[in-house]
Amino acid sequence: MNARNYQKELAEETNAVDHLNEILKVFDRSGVTPVYGMKFAGVGYKLQTPIIGRVVKRIINGVLHNEGPKRKHIGVDGHFGQVLPIEDASYIIENLAAEPLTLNYCVCRYMCRGEKDARCIIFGVMSEIADKIPRYIPENVKRPMDREETTRYLESFSEEGLVSTIWFHPVPYITAICSCENPDCMGIRMRQDYDIGLLYKAEYVVQLNPDLCEGLGDCVSACQFGALSFSPTKNMVNVDLDKCYGCGNCRNVCQHNALTLVPRNDIKQVAGRY
Amino acid sequence: MIAVRKGKTKITIDYSKCGPHGDTDPRECTKCLRQCDRPVFHLHHVIVNGDNPWDPSYWQVTPIYTSQCTRCMRCVEVCPVNAITVSW
């Protein structure tokens, strides 16, 4: 939670305006635009190729985490994100995010499903650039919004079962909190299906208290990542910590408070594995 | 997790039937996008010279994540203009 990552000075330092201008102009073409001469279509088959696949994955990860001064503002250079529990996301909106805050249509959902769904809360420099794209500006939503209203929107998305994610644009300048779902979100898909570091797991991981769990199983359908499963023998849920992203959706629906979020680094099995 | 299937799935879309120069506008149809469980298709705009990149008017559907196609053929069935073919 470094407040500096949200400020305008950093945006100027990282040349965020140029970056966002380039990236947003072609954002809904990101699946078909060649990046460094490599086409994204059919990326699954490229990654399955024995040796070439590993090289390709390293190149993609390098591009995504590129912080160097020679960074070109093409494709997705320096654009990756992390899952957040709803408390952290609300805290960021209330205290840290730069004005103006706006709500926009989700580009991923429009690309994958052809549906316009206002889910993405963007702030700072990105809001000003997003004003240029009329097709992603929702109707009947105030622009810009105040912090309270934005938090209310974010909490209503979380109640629907969506996962809050925070995004760099470009790293280390933070510009967006999205409410994502699997598999419509490009970031979740990249991480889940191809193990590309476009999205990182949260700082937390879920822990089950077996004494409190009564086997209602609400949490199983709330998990977007398939980390929970119901065991009829134990009449309890099983938690797969390796798959847990720490979003806290399961904890929000649990009626007996059997699930809690604990810091990831306190659990030896998953410590440091984001 | 990548499901193992023999051979590569090949999905082709006939852009003379659906797309910027066809009869159907994919932005209004979106049937294949909504039917697919693993969203294999992407709806995106096409850059045409002289078009405003901030407000493009030409859109088409392209299969991107073909390795995740489960070969259920629902997109082929649902397409109103029979523009999609899936082969492997």
Q: pLDDT per residue over A150-179, tens digit each? A: 999 999 999 999 999 999 888 788 889 999
Q: Answer for the pair A36, A142: CB distance below 8 angstroms, yes or no.
A: no
Is A193's CB within 8 Å of B1's CB? yes
Same-domain pairing of A18 and A136 = yes
Classify residue A158: in a domain, yes or no: yes
Same-domain pairing of A123 and A181 = yes
Report how far residue A162's alpha carbon sits from residue A117's, in angstroms, rounded to the nearest whole number. Answer: 12
Is residue A72 very low, low, confident or very high in pLDDT (cuts 50, 70, 90)? low
Classify residue A273: in a domain, yes or no: no
Region B58-80 average pLDDT: 90
Please report, for the domain that includes residue A235, its CATH number: 3.30.70.20
**Whole-number mean pLDDT of chain A?**
87
Domain total of chain A:
2
For residue B39, which residues of chain A lie inside 8 Å, CB to CB? Answer: 112-113, 183-184
Classify residue B4: in a domain, yes or no: no
A210 alpha carbon, distance to own chain's centre:
30
Same-domain pairing of A194 and A208 = no
B78 to chain A, any CB pair closer than 8 A? The answer is no
For residue B70, which residues of chain A lie inside 8 Å, CB to CB? Answer: none
Classify residue A272: in a domain, yes or no: no
Domain total of chain B:
1
Report how far residue A125's alpha carbon sits from residue B38's, in angstroms, rounded to the nearest whole number. Answer: 33
Same-domain pairing of A89 and A180 = yes
Same-domain pairing of A76 and A140 = yes
pLDDT of A131: 86
A residues 154-193 near B, CB within 8 Å? Answer: 183-184, 189, 192-193
Alpha helix ranges (H) inside chain A: 8-13, 16-25, 43-48, 50-64, 86-91, 107-113, 125-130, 147-160, 186-194, 218-222, 249-253
Is residue A213 very low, low, confident or very high in pLDDT (cuts 50, 70, 90)? very high
Q: How many CA atoms lie within 13 A of B9 on its CB side?
A: 23
Q: Which of A119, A157, A117 is nearest to A247 (CA)?
A: A157
Structure confidence by residue, pLDDT tens digits, A99-109: 889 999 998 89
Is A112's CB within 8 Å of B41's CB? yes
Same-domain pairing of A76 and A208 = no
Residue B61: beta bridge partners? Answer: B43
Same-domain pairing of A141 and A237 = no
Same-domain pairing of A63 and A144 = yes
> A–B: how many Cβ contacts below 8 A?
78
Q: Which residues constitute the domain of residue A232?
A: 204-266
Helix (H) or strand (E) holding A241: none
Classify residue B18: in a domain, yes or no: yes
Q: Answer for the pair A79, A199: CB distance below 8 angstroms, yes or no.
A: no
Structure confidence by residue, pLDDT tens digits, A134-153: 888 888 888 888 999 999 99
ipTM of the complex: 0.89
Classify residue B1: in a domain, yes or no: no
Q: Answer for the pair A229, A238: CB distance below 8 angstroms, yes or no.
A: yes
Contacts of B77 (CB under 8 A, 6+ apart): none
Residue B1 has pLDDT above 60, yes or no: no
Which member of B43, B44, B53 has the closest CB to residue A25?
B53
pLDDT of B57: 83
B35 to chain A, any CB pair closer than 8 A? The answer is no
Classify residue B29: in a domain, yes or no: yes
Region B51-80 average pLDDT: 88
pLDDT of A237: 93
Q: Answer for the pair A153, A90: CB distance below 8 angstroms, yes or no.
A: no
For residue A135, which residues of chain B lie inside 8 Å, CB to CB? Answer: 55
Report how far residue B11's alpha carbon sits from residue B74's, in angstroms, rounded to the nearest whole number. Answer: 13
Residue A21 has pLDDT above 70, yes or no: yes
Residue A44's closest chain B neighbor by CA? B67
End position of a domain, from candidates A156, A183, A200: A200
pLDDT of A209: 93
